[in-house]
Chain A
C-alpha cells in the first residue's frame, strides 16, 4: 500500500536513530528540535499529546501534491510506527518502564483519534513549506510540527496556544509574505479612502487632485440604495410607530428649509390631485377635506435627518382615506407631494417636492394634518394642510401641500441631488 510505504519513509526520516538502535533520548531530541536542553521533558509531552494540528508533511516525502486527507493518513501510520518502535526501545531499557510504556500506548491511541487538520487558511500546504535543504538546517525540514496539545477540560476553558516548530527561514519567509500582504491591504485602504472621501474633505487634507468621479458617486449611492432596500424591507403596513401621552410633548421648531412663506396664500389654498384613475385632476379646499374625511389624532415622535426629534400632538385625515376616495391610476406606486408656496433662503419661490411610495402613504399613521396641539396649523407648521409620515424622516413631511401627483415611476425628490436618500424610511 502506498500510504504505508510513505508512512514508513516519513517515520524512518523522522527517527533515523531508532533503526540503528540508539536510545530514546536522541530520537526525541531530533524530533522536538535541537534547542531542547533537557530532552527528557519534551519526551513525555510529545509522546502523550500525539499529533494534533498536523501540518502537511509533503516535502518530507517529496510529494507536494498529496492531498490533506492523504497526509493525515500518512501521519497516523507514521506515528503508530513510531510508537511501536518506541515501545520496543522502552521494553529494552528495562522492566521499570513497563508501566510507563503501557500508558504511552493508550494515550497515543487517544491522541491519534483526535487528529485534526490545523484550521489556518494561510497555512495551505503549497505555500507553507519551502523545500528547505536538510543539510544546513538542524531543525526538521517540516515547517510546522505539533509539540503538544493539552487535553481540553471544559468547553469554555482557555486552551494553551498551540506550539509549533518552524525553521527560522520559513519564519522569515512567512513574516515577509504576511507583512507585505498587509502592507498592500493598507495601501488599498488608503486608496479607497482617497477615492471615497468628499472633495472638500480631501482638499482640507491637502489632496489637490480632483477626485470627484461618476464612479465614486455611483458607489456611494449604491451603499445608500442598499440602506434604502433594508429600510423598505423593514417597513410593514401593520407595524405602528410608538405613540405618547400629552405629558411627553416637546417643543417643535419651525424648520422651514428657506424663508417662512407669507400667510397670504392660505385664503386661496387648494389641494390638486393628479395621476388619478379617473384621468381627471381634482381640486379640494380645506373645508371639503375636513368635512368629508374622519379626523384622527396622534401624539408621535418626529425625527429629523439632522438628529433632533420632537414629540407633537397632531390631528388630520388619513392619507389612506384620500387614496380610497380618489384612487390613483392602477399601476401607480409613487406619489409626488409638492408645496408650491415654499421659498428659498432669500425669499424667492422654491417649490418643495418629495417622493413617497404609496405603501408608506397607506400606513394608518400617515396623516394629512390640519391641527397641531389642538389648534389649526399655523403658517410656521404648514397651514392649512401638511403631510405627516411618521415612518419617514422629517424632510418628507411636506408643509403647505398644494399638489399630489401619483405616478408609476419614482418621481424626483428635492434632496436626492444633494446626496440624501430618496426613500428615507426610519
Chain B
C-alpha cells in the first residue's frame, strides 16, 4: 500500500498540545480580562454596568432559550468562558504556566517544521490569490451544485495544502507568535517597553492580545468542522503522520 508522509512527529505532538494549552490560556485569560475589561462604556444609569461583555451576557440571557434564570446575566460570558468569578490570582498563575508551555510548544512545532521540511508547504505563493478565489468559488457553489444534482469538481492542486488552507495554516503560527509578543508587551510593559511601543503602547497591546485570542477561536471552530468533514484519513494523518491519499499522478508526473 502506498502512503504519503504528511506530518513530522514533533509537529503532530505540538499540534495536539495546543488544545489543552490554548484552553487554559483562554479560560484564564478571560478571567484576567474580567478584572479590568478593555471594552467599556459610560456606566448604564439603570444597572451601573459599563462592560461590553456584560451587555452581551445580558442580551444572551434575555434572548437565548434556557438562560432566563441565569443568576447574574452581566456575568454570563465570564461564567461560561472563564475560570469563574474572583479568580484573578489563580488565573494569572495558570496563565503564566500555560504561556511558558505554549512558548516551549511553539519551539517544538518550529523544530518539527524544520526537521520535516514542512515549513515549505506553509509559505505563501504568488498564485495564492487566484487559487484562493477558485477554492472560495468552489465552496460557494457546493450547495447549488448539490441542489441541482450537477457535478461540481474540487479544484485540483498538486500541493500539500490548497491556497485557503495555506493562508490559514500560515497565519495561525504567525498569530501564535504575535500573541506571545503582545503577551510579553503587556506582561512586562516597563522592561520591554519597546515591544509595547511596537504594538502601539500598553493599552493597544492589550487590545491586540484580546483579538488574537478571538482569531484562535475563529480558526479552531471551522478547522475542526472541516477536518471532520474531510474524513478519517485527514484526522488520522495528524495522529500517525501519514495519509493513505497518495496523488498517483504526482508519482508519474515526476517521471516526465
Binding site for B on A (CB under 8 A): 33, 35, 41-42, 44-45, 48-49, 119-122, 139, 147-148, 150, 156-168, 171, 174-175, 178-179, 182, 185-186, 189-190, 192-193, 196-198, 200-201, 204, 220-221, 223-224, 226-227, 231, 234-236, 239, 241-242, 301, 303-309, 390-391, 415, 418-421, 425-426
With A119-B8, A303-B189, A305-B92 already in contact, the answer to whether A165 and B1 are too (CB < 8 A) is: yes
**Which of the residues B6, B17, B190 comes within 8 Å of A161, measured between beta carbons?**
B6
A166 adjacent to B33 (CB under 8 Å): no
A48 adjacent to B255 (CB under 8 Å): yes
Query: Smallest CB-CB separation from A300: which chain B residue?
Result: B190
Chain B residues with Cβ under 8 A from A303's Cβ?
189-190, 202
Give bound CA distance, A174 to B240, whole Å.
7
- 16 further A-B contacts with Cβ under 8 Å, apart from A41-B255, A163-B246, A165-B2, are A120-B116, A121-B9, A166-B242, A171-B244, A197-B94, A198-B87, A198-B90, A200-B83, A220-B94, A241-B193, A242-B190, A303-B190, A307-B32, A390-B190, A391-B191, A426-B191
B220 close to chain A: CB less than 8 A = no
B36 close to chain A: CB less than 8 A = yes
Shortest distance from the beta carbon of B72 to any chain A beta carbon, whole Å: 13
B200 close to chain A: CB less than 8 A = no
**Which of the residues B38, B84, B190 comes within 8 Å of A426, measured between beta carbons?**
B190
Give bound CA distance, A36 to B202, whole Å.
62
A122 adjacent to B251 (CB under 8 Å): no
Give bound CA distance, A150 to B253, whole Å.
10
Chain A residues with Cβ under 8 A from B1's Cβ?
33, 35, 139, 165-168, 171
**Which of the residues A189, A221, A227, A235 comes within 8 Å of B20, measured between beta carbons?**
A189
Query: Smallest CB-CB separation from A120: which chain B residue?
Result: B9
A-B contact pairs, 8 of them (CB 8 A): A147-B2, A158-B160, A160-B254, A163-B250, A196-B94, A307-B186, A308-B36, A309-B203
Chain B residues with Cβ under 8 A from A163's Cβ?
2-5, 246, 250-251
Query: Smallest CB-CB separation from A181: which chain B residue?
Result: B239
B152 close to chain A: CB less than 8 A = no
With A150-B254, A166-B1, A193-B24 already in contact, the answer to whether A241 and B190 are too (CB < 8 A) is: yes
B84 adjacent to A223 (CB under 8 Å): no
A122 adjacent to B241 (CB under 8 Å): yes
User: How many B residues have CB within 8 A of the partner chain?
Assistant: 72
B188 adjacent to A425 (CB under 8 Å): yes
Binding site of B, secondary structure by majority: helix, strand, loop or mixed?
helix
Chain B residues with Cβ under 8 A from A197's Cβ?
83, 94
Binding site for A on B (CB under 8 A): 1-6, 8-10, 12-13, 16-17, 19-20, 23-24, 27, 32-33, 35-36, 38, 79, 83-84, 86-90, 92-94, 96-97, 100, 115-117, 120-121, 123, 158-160, 186-193, 197, 202-203, 206, 236, 239-244, 246-247, 250-252, 254-255
**Which of the residues B19, B83, B241, B251 comes within 8 Å of A148, measured between beta carbons?**
B251
Shortest distance from the beta carbon of A6 to any chain B beta carbon, whole Å: 26
**Which of the residues B32, B92, B236, B251 comes within 8 Å of A420, measured between beta carbons?**
B92
| Listed residue (B89, B187, B190, B202) with the most chain A CB atoms within 10 angstroms of its CB | B190
With A41-B255, A420-B92 already in contact, the answer to whether A179 and B240 are too (CB < 8 A) is: yes
Shortest distance from the beta carbon of B104 to any chain A beta carbon, whole Å: 12
Query: Smallest CB-CB separation from B101: which chain A residue?
Result: A223
A223 adjacent to B96 (CB under 8 Å): yes
Give bound CA distance, A130 to B1, whole Å.
15
Chain A residues with Cβ under 8 A from B38's Cβ?
307
Chain B residues with Cβ under 8 A from A164's Cβ?
2-5, 242
With A121-B9, A200-B84 already in contact, the answer to whether A235 and B191 are too (CB < 8 A) is: yes
B120 adjacent to A157 (CB under 8 Å): yes
B236 adjacent to A306 (CB under 8 Å): no
Chain B residues with Cβ under 8 A from A190's Cβ?
20
With A178-B239, A182-B239, A391-B191 already in contact, the answer to whether A120 and B5 are too (CB < 8 A) is: yes
Shortest distance from the beta carbon of A84 to any chain B beta carbon, whole Å: 22
Give bound CA distance, A377 to B51, whole Å.
31
Chain B residues with Cβ under 8 A from A242's Cβ?
190, 193, 197
| Listed residue (B187, B206, B251) with the most chain A CB atoms within 10 angstroms of its CB | B251
Give bound CA distance, A419 to B5, whole Å.
46
A301 adjacent to B240 (CB under 8 Å): no
Give bound CA distance, A415 to B35, whole Å.
16
The 8 closest A-B pairs by CB, nearest first: A419-B89, A223-B97, A307-B36, A306-B35, A306-B36, A161-B4, A234-B191, A44-B255
**Which of the residues B32, B93, B240 comes within 8 Å of A223, measured between beta carbons?**
B93
Chain B residues with Cβ under 8 A from A239's Cβ?
191
Give bound CA distance, A200 to B94, whole Å.
14
B3 adjacent to A49 (CB under 8 Å): no
Chain A residues with Cβ under 8 A from B192's Cβ?
234
Give bound CA distance, A41 to B252, whole Å.
6
Chain B residues with Cβ under 8 A from A198's Cβ?
83-84, 87, 90, 94
| Listed residue (B5, B121, B244) with the most chain A CB atoms within 10 angstroms of its CB | B5
Query: Smallest CB-CB separation from A231: which chain B residue?
Result: B188
With A120-B5, A163-B2 already in contact, the answer to whether A234 and B188 are too (CB < 8 A) is: yes
Query: Smallest CB-CB separation from A417: which chain B residue?
Result: B89
Give bound CA distance, A309 to B96, whole Å.
20
Give bound CA distance, A227 to B252, whole Å.
54
Give bound CA distance, A238 to B252, whole Å.
65
Give bound CA distance, A196 to B97, whole Å.
10
Query: Smallest CB-CB separation from A164: which chain B residue?
Result: B3
B93 adjacent to A304 (CB under 8 Å): no
**Which of the residues B20, B88, B158, B189 comes within 8 Å of A306, measured between beta carbons?**
B88
Chain B residues with Cβ under 8 A from A226's Cβ?
96, 100
B5 adjacent to A122 (CB under 8 Å): no
| Listed residue (B1, B19, B158) with the most chain A CB atoms within 10 angstroms of its CB | B1
Chain A residues with Cβ under 8 A from B92's Cβ?
224, 305, 419-421
Give bound CA distance, A224 to B8, whole Å.
33
